[in-house]
Structures are given as structure tokens and as C-alpha cells.
Amino acid sequence: MASKVVNNVQIIDAPAGNGKTYHIREQLHNFLIEHPNSSALAITYTNRAADEIKSKVDSTRVHISTIHAFISHLISPFFKQDEVIDLYFDKYGEKIRTMLTSKKKKDINRNEKYIKHYGEISLDVIKKNIHKDGINYGESSFSAYYYGRLSHDDLLEFTSYVVERFPKLYLKINRQFKLVVIDEYQDTAQCMLDLFFEATSKNKNMKLCLYGDTTQQIYQTYDKNMQDKLKSFGVKHGKLNNYRSNDTITNILNNIDGRQSRRQIVPQDSSIGRSDFLPMVICMDQINIDSYVSKKIETNPNILALYVFNRERFKNIGAGDLFSAYKQIFDYMNPISVKDVLTELDPSENPDTLMKVLLSIQRGASFWKNKRYGELITFVSNQSNIFSRQMILQTNKDKKRVNEIWKRAYILLQGRALTIESFIDKITEYGIIRNSVTEDILQSEEYRNSGVFNVCISEFMNLINKANNVSTQHGVKGESHDAVVFVAEDSTSYFPFINMYDFFELWSNLNFSIDDFESFAISYKNEIKLLNDKVQSIKDTNELQIIIKEIQNLFEDNVYYKMLLKEIYDDYFSRSKRAGSVFLKLAKIIKSVNKIERIMVAYKIFYVGCSRAKRNLTVILDKEKIEGFEDKLKQKLELVGFKVVDASKSQIT
């Protein structure tokens, strides 16, 4: 654990498995004892991480939530105020104007839908309607600017924008909380860190603690000013213990990381236990990967499979038709992806209305089945935009009636052949959901045409029941699992973009650490940014060549440049002698930074994924994608500590 206190801000930087979650819980427990009349705020990276802390810290004086949930709670009371709505148009007015005059098909369709709903469309009409209805948080990955609906990212940016102009809002933080703890600070948006820094600076009695691990910083979102600010707090390394993983896996993590200064040890009193088998890397044909993982999940309920999701993943857990239907709604033109809909199982966070309703019913029925009546009452109350008034208990006479309704809902969810449309019809008949919500769903042409209404409710339940066994590789921060299966994949369609096999090829040829490669990646990214900034003003091709030559000279002795970039630059200068070709290959050079960043992300995701395992770890590789460097990669993996198995030559279980 490493920490440095500057004034009333503390940064704790520690590797995976070092006990950050434990230390957060202990800090909160100590706070409750030492400050019996004060409150604390704990911000987590995921809902699952929040739930883990809540299970150990049971106090109304500690508010535990994700950053989006907290910020929504903080700012949403002001979303109907004219001054805040005016700021909304200050920030997003130009985007709205561009969309209004756009000739793009998606914008034309969006405009037509607005006219169909409101009768006309213009900036003034949109302003009038948002002033009437207010701004809202859309709990999704995209914004609907015409309707004042903010996405995940825009919620944070807009809140920062509002608070800067109404600084009294800082008081809602520093007067309410004496302690603020932020977990996984390295992946917290810069604007949010600035917000909490500012709130802390205005109250010397408030303490801000940031917990994280820069090794697990997947998203490079900080500018130089923020990087310098974070560095100013300083870091001092203490004893590096790994409380999550056993000796075997910890040794592998140390070798993947590659830094002697960050090598962890397992405490002698660790109770994790030995691995059932030597951590394995299995090379197999792509066609067999999903069936293998599916069988592993069936035989071992404690396994967590880490994937980049696609149709086959959902097919293997019995939700293939559900995926296919949603794929028609959320195609490549839609800012929401199928993954956004089918992997977000928190009803308050899911971006799709139908899925929100299904998840809400399932969660409520689960509370009822397990006799968690207090949680059920709170949940229904908090989801009042979905549940009808009759589901809210007002008198003791309501208990028997509501209990019977939830019994019926639970039975419906167990129906194997019942379609989603029939399910919606039934819960409407029971009066569980607001009529306005079910009408919007049942009258939706998108749902009707996609075929989602014809999908059996059993596919939705398969999604629910097997969701704990499957996760994205970047969505498991702070978690630990007895057994992990890491499926190595590239991701070129959805963020975060990952060049996993480019990483493996580079890694198999060179000995390097995360620090070494990241230092190169940041330096190269800065040079390409400067080049990109200058391009628009450069008219002389000779001047452009001089700048690019300077970049080449700067990195030409670097081993990463030689392996990843040299061919691109050589090609540029060989072709640029011909008239008109100077700018032809420029885009390739500018885009080359993307490859570097995607390899860096892959490196960290590989480390993060492997570090979730306590006792057993398996990595699955696509045999076809390692052709040409298979032998070198095998040697590297064995040196790191894995047993490498070729599925085509060996029997695996």
C-alpha cells in the first residue's frame, strides 16, 4: 500500500489484490466510530463493487454508490430550474443546431420522429419543451439532446459545467460528507476528480481519499495538468502483499507486470489455498471456444468467464434469440449497442425501456421469493416511474393484495414457453407496471418488427441466471473469483478498442514492463497530437515532411517503434516522392497512434483479467490468430508461469 497526504487529500496507490476494498471498509468502519455524528461517501467503479462494500458496512451514515448514481442524486433536483436549462443550451445548443440541419439519415429520422411527437421542430420549440419537461439522466451510453436526456458521460461533464457556475453546489458535498472515498480513481473522469478536489479545498474539515492502481488504468482520460496534479501528491511504496491470489497466480501477475518495484508477495497467513491445476493457456480453434467455456460454466458455478461479447456468447447461455432481436433494434448505426442492453442487468442503468421493465419485475420477484420485503418496498418506491401506484404499500390492507401480485409475477417468470409479449400483457393485467409504460412498449414498431415480442421469457431468465458467470474483461475492477477463464479477443467495434493479439505478438518478442510501454505510448501520442494540430495550417509539403521526419528521428532507436511503426514511416517516405502523395499516407501515420493505444489497453486488460483469479486461471487463445509467432508466445507464456496446451493435440477438460 502506498499513500501520501497533502493537506486533506490522500492518494492510496496499490496493485491488484493488495486489499484496497478491505482498507476502504476498514476506513469507513473507523470513521463511523471516530465521527459518530458525521457522514461519509464511498464512490465505486461498478454496482457490484458498491454491493460488496454495502454487505460489510451497514450504516445510514455511509452513502455507497457508483459515480453516476451519486452525481444524478446530487444534480437532478436542479434539472427543472430555468438557469440550469439555459446552461444546458449553452453547452449543447450548437450540437442541436447541427442535428437540425444535418442531411444524415439518422438525423433526418430523428427530426421526423420529433415532429411526429410535437408537431414541429426548431431550436425554439426544443427549448420550450425542455423548459417544460426539464433535463433528465437517461441512464444510458447515449444522449438524446432534443429531449434533454443526458448520457453517462454527458451527465458528468454537464454537472461539472453547472457546478463551476453555481459554486454553492460544492456545499452539497462538503457540508454533507466529512469523508469522501473514491475507489478506482484512475478510471474516474477528470471532471469528477476536479469537482471533488474543489469541494475538498473549500472545507478543511473534509477529507478526500483516492484508492486505485495506475496499472489498471484502461482509459487514458487525463490531460497533463491533471497528471501533474496527481503526481504532486507523491507516492511512497510500502510492503506489497497480495491478499486475493495464491502464490502461483501472484507470480504470474508479477511476471506480466514486469516491474521489480511492484512485485507482490502472498502473506504467510493467506487462506486462499493451492491451485487445482497449473494456470493454463489453451490454444484452440475459434469454433470450439464458446462451447468449451459454456461446458466449464455448467460444471463449475464458481467460474467467471471474461469475454468481449457477441452473438455466440448469448447463444451459449440460452439467450441467442434475444440477442438477435435486439441486434435488429440496435444496429451499427445506433449509439446504443446490443452489449449495452444485454450486459447491464441493473434496471436503473439499462438503456432500453423493455429491458428496464423486465429487469425491474425480475428483481422485485426475487426480493419477494427470498422474503426480503423491506428491500422490495424500497425498490418499488425508487422505481416509481415504472411501477404503478397500486404496488406501493400505503396501508396494512395492501400487503395481502400486493403479495399475491408478486406471487403471480414470480410464476410468470418461470414459464418456459411464455413469450415476452404475453408476459407484458399479463403484468399489465395484474397492474404491476404503469399503463403509460406498457403502452409505449406494446405500441413500439421497433420492438414489433425486431421480433423481440416473440422471444420466450425463458431466454431473459437464462440471461439473469447465468450473468454472474460472464462479464466483460474491463468490467470486473475490484472483484475476485475462485476461478477465471479469460478469453483473448480483439475488439474493433465497441469501446474500449483492444488489439489483444498485437499485444501478444509484441510481448512474445520483447521483454518489457507496463511502465516501459506506457511511457513510449504517451510520448508517441503527444507527438502525433502536435502533428495533428499543425496539419490544417500546413500548406508546404516539404514542411510536413520535415515534421514527420523529426518524429521518425525521435523514435527510430526505440524497440517498440521498430516493431510497430517503422514500416508505416518507411512507406510514407518511399511514396511521398511522387507528386500529390505527401498527404496520401498522412492519415495512416496519424491513425498509427490508435494501434499503440489499443495494444496498451490490451496489456492492462490482460493483467486486470488474470488478477481477478484467486486459485485457478485459464486463458483461451484463438489458434489461428497466433500463427507466425506461436512458438515464441508459447516460450513467453511458459516463462511467465503458464502451462500451454494445444487443444488439437491434447485432451483437455
- What is residue 16's predicted lDDT score, i.e. its pLDDT? 83
pLDDT > 90 fraction of the chain, expressed in percent and rounded = 51
Neighbours of 205 (CB within 10 A): 10
**Which cell is 468 given?**
454472474
Q: What is the mean pLDDT of residues 135-139?
A: 80
**Does pLDDT of 44 surpass 60?**
yes
AA identity, residue 78: F
3-class SS of residue 283: strand
User: With 70 as the cut, is the pLDDT of residue 140 above it?
Assistant: no
Please give the grid coordinates belonging to residue 197.
478536489
* The pLDDT of residue 384 is above 60: yes
Q: Which residues contact 561 (CB under 8 A, 6 or more apart)?
A: 520, 524, 555
- The DSSP annotation for 110-163 comes to HHHHHHHHHS---HHHHHHHHHHH--EE--SSS-BGGGTEE-HHHHHHHHHHHH
pLDDT band at 49 (very low <50, low <70, confident <90, very high): confident
| Model confidence at 475: pLDDT above 80 | no
Range 272-277 average pLDDT: 92
pLDDT value at position 582?
Answer: 59
Q: pTM for the full model?
A: 0.76
Peptide bond into 77 cis (omega under 30): no
**pLDDT at 193 (0 to 100):** 93
Q: Cα–Cα distances in Å, from 142 out to 110, 138, 357, 367, 438?
A: 14, 8, 19, 30, 23
Query: What pLDDT is stored for residue 333 in this prediction?
Result: 47
**Higher-confidence position of 105 and 63:** 63
- For 551-564, write each residue's pLDDT tens digit: 999 999 999 999 99
Position of cell 486489499?
A: 19
Q: How many angstroms from the chain centroid is the CA of residue 1?
A: 25
DSSP SS3 for 614: strand
pLDDT number for residue 3: 47
Rounded CA separation 265/243 (Å) = 9
- The grid coordinates of residue 317 equal 447461455
How far is Cα 149 from Cα 126, in angstroms, rounded to an integer?
A: 12
The whole-number pLDDT of residue 244 equals 92
Q: Per-residue pLDDT for 335 more than 70? A: no
Cα–Cα dist 145/143, whole Å: 6
Of 1-10, 57-66, 409-418, 609-618, the one with minimum mean pLDDT is 1-10
Can you give the pLDDT at residue 367? 93
Tell me, what's the pLDDT at 329? 83
Each residue's pLDDT tens digit, 575-630:
655 545 556 678 889 999 999 999 999 999 999 999 999 999 999 999 999 999 99
Share of the chain above pLDDT 70, in %: 91
Q: What is the pLDDT of residue 195?
A: 94
Whether residue 639 has pLDDT greater than 90: yes
Q: What does the mean pLDDT of the chain come to?
A: 87
Confidence at residue 20, expressed as pLDDT on a 0 to 100 scale: 85
Q: What mean pLDDT is predicted for residues 60-82?
A: 93
Q: What is the pLDDT of residues 163-193, one digit of tens each?
A: 999 999 999 999 999 999 999 898 888 999 9
Question: In this predicted structure, what is the pLDDT of residue 394?
Answer: 66
CA separation for the pair 109, 117 (Å, rounded): 12
Per-residue pLDDT band for 506 (boundaries 50, 70, 90) equals very high
Residue-wise pLDDT tens digits, 394-453? 667 778 888 999 999 999 999 888 999 999 999 999 999 988 888 888 888 888 889 999
For residue 531 the three cell numbers come to 502533428
Q: Per mean pLDDT, which range of 322-326, 379-383, 610-614 is the poorest?
A: 379-383
pLDDT of residue 309: 59
- Structure confidence at residue 142 as a pLDDT band (50, 70, 90): low
Listed residue (638, 600, 601) closest to 619, CA to CA: 638
Q: What is the pLDDT of residue 2?
A: 46
Looking at residue 311, what is its pLDDT? 60
Average pLDDT over residues 263-274: 90
Residue 237 has pLDDT above 70, yes or no: no
pLDDT of residue 334 exceeding 60: no
For residue 181, give the nearest of 168, 200, 164 by alpha carbon: 200
